[in-house]
A and B are shown apart, each in its own frame.
Chain A
Amino acid sequence: MRLSATDLACRRGGREVFAGVSFSVAAGESLTIRGRNGAGKSSLLRTVVGLVRIADGKLSLEGGDPDLTMGEQAHYLGHLDALKPSLSVEENLRFWSSFLGAASVDLSEPLRAVGLDALADLPAAYLSAGQRRRLSIARLLAVRRPLWLLDEPTSTLDAAAQTKLAEIMRAHLDGGGIILAATHGPLQLDGARELNLDNVSAPRPTMDMSA
């Protein structure tokens, strides 16, 4: 499996966010996306999962299921945690695993992996920001998807949880998964390749030299 992008461009609100972004990530590899604020890290992730229309360029997933869109094969962990405060920890996770297509999985395993198994019956309203983030991460474990797109995954996580997240990500890569992560901080992933949007986000010259 290989996720590749060629000359990807994104326009939002009539403004070009980035253009000419190319990368290629194979199964078992991760790509860390860096760049200043507003460089388009989140927009790049949203473009890959199909939440933002591709303005220009090509995006393909070799070895993926041709019947499914990119978004249906990917997990997107955005800034928002997609949790309902009045539902319990377990109900929130059960909803997403049912909605995302895991028929009946044992949710105690993912909850234990993120250290929330003791709080399964607590309404999500009472969770701290870091616990909410961990519950979102449990979603990635409850439903298997090859492609993980993580937007600032370590924000609000404490040191122990960051180490735990690194373990979870390594396990996903060892299982043949692909991770794209937009972050400012370290991810504790060995051999992670980097894509710096500051270097590519300059608007493309109108005359392409190769053309």
Chain B
Amino acid sequence: MTPLAAILLRDMRIAVRVGGGALMGVLFFLVVVTLVPFALGPDLALLKRIGPAILWLAALLASLLALDRLFAADHEDGSLDLILMGRTPLEIVVAAKGLAHWLITGLPLVIAAPLIGLFLNLDAPAAGALVLTLLVGTPALTFIGLIGAAIAVTLRRGGLLLAVLVLPLTVPVLIFGVAAANAAVVGPIPFGTPFTILCALTLATLVVGPFAAAAALRQEME
């Protein structure tokens, strides 16, 4: 097994074991989305109009949930020292950890979104567009979050700092994600325009995230 596969497999295995919290993100997502109709009242037209935005916001918050433990857990038990010493470039390790984190927290959100969208009166085309935007957009959220997780690695209660650091950076992803999902439902702009920009944002974060996070980790561990 390559070092990368080893990291990926280990992180996913820990997440699905007791206390790993693999399903916490998707449950949180469900709870937040369920609360919205209670708060707004049963106005189906309104729910349909703001549905994509609500789902995107909930996905954003849910994908931040377990992020603060991503590097902090490895730091606290000494694993990070051995990872830093290792032959595998830190950037690649960070990317593998990000991928593992997305597979166990981001992907379930994407899969659950059409079902949860029913609560917000989303019809099939709208749900399809939403799933597509979430599939493309949630990796960007995770990889932006990597940077915050790396900066907060040595802090005891890094979760709050992480949210404050990361949420502003996710604004472009949120704007174009919601814009693309709305475009498919109400128009007037074509779906492709904001969706292409969302794809570009994700590709950029996939490159920048691991490098920035690795630089932050090296700085923190000195």
Binding site for B on A (CB under 8 A): 46, 49-53, 68, 71-72, 74, 76, 78-84, 86-87, 91, 94-96, 98-101, 103-104
Contact = CB atoms under 8 A, between A and B. Distances in A.
B80 to A, nearest CB: 9
Contacts of A100: 3, 82, 86-87
Interface in B1-38: 1-3, 5-7, 9-10, 13-14, 17-20
Contacts of A103: 1
A87 B13 CA distance: 8
Interface residues of B, number: 28
A190 to B, nearest CB: 29
Contact of B78 (A74, A80, A91): A80
If over half of B's interface residues share one DSSP class (helix, strand or loop), that class is named, otherwise mixed; here it is helix
A103 B38 CA distance: 55
Interface string B77-100: 111011111111000000000000
Contact of A78 (B3, B78, B88): B78
A144 B157 CA distance: 38
B77 A81 contact: yes
A206 B20 CA distance: 54
Contacts of B86: 71-72, 99-100
Interface of B: 1-3, 5-7, 9-10, 13-14, 17-20, 76-79, 81-88, 221-222
A50 B78 contact: no
Nearest to B2: A98
A82 B77 CA distance: 5
A95 B18 CA distance: 19
A68 B85 CA distance: 11
A76 B86 CA distance: 11
If over half of A's interface residues share one DSSP class (helix, strand or loop), that class is named, otherwise mixed; here it is loop
Nearest to A13: B222
A52 B85 CA distance: 11
29 contacts: A46-B81, A49-B85, A51-B81, A51-B84, A51-B221, A53-B222, A71-B84, A78-B81, A79-B78, A80-B77, A81-B77, A81-B78, A82-B77, A82-B82, A84-B10, A84-B14, A84-B77, A86-B18, A86-B19, A87-B14, A87-B17, A94-B6, A98-B1, A98-B5, A99-B3, A99-B82, A99-B88, A100-B82, A101-B3
Contacts, number: 76
A98 B96 CA distance: 14
A121 to B, nearest CB: 14
A98 B13 CA distance: 15
Contacts of B20: 86
A87 B128 CA distance: 38
B19 A74 contact: no
Contacts of B5: 98
A79 B18 CA distance: 26
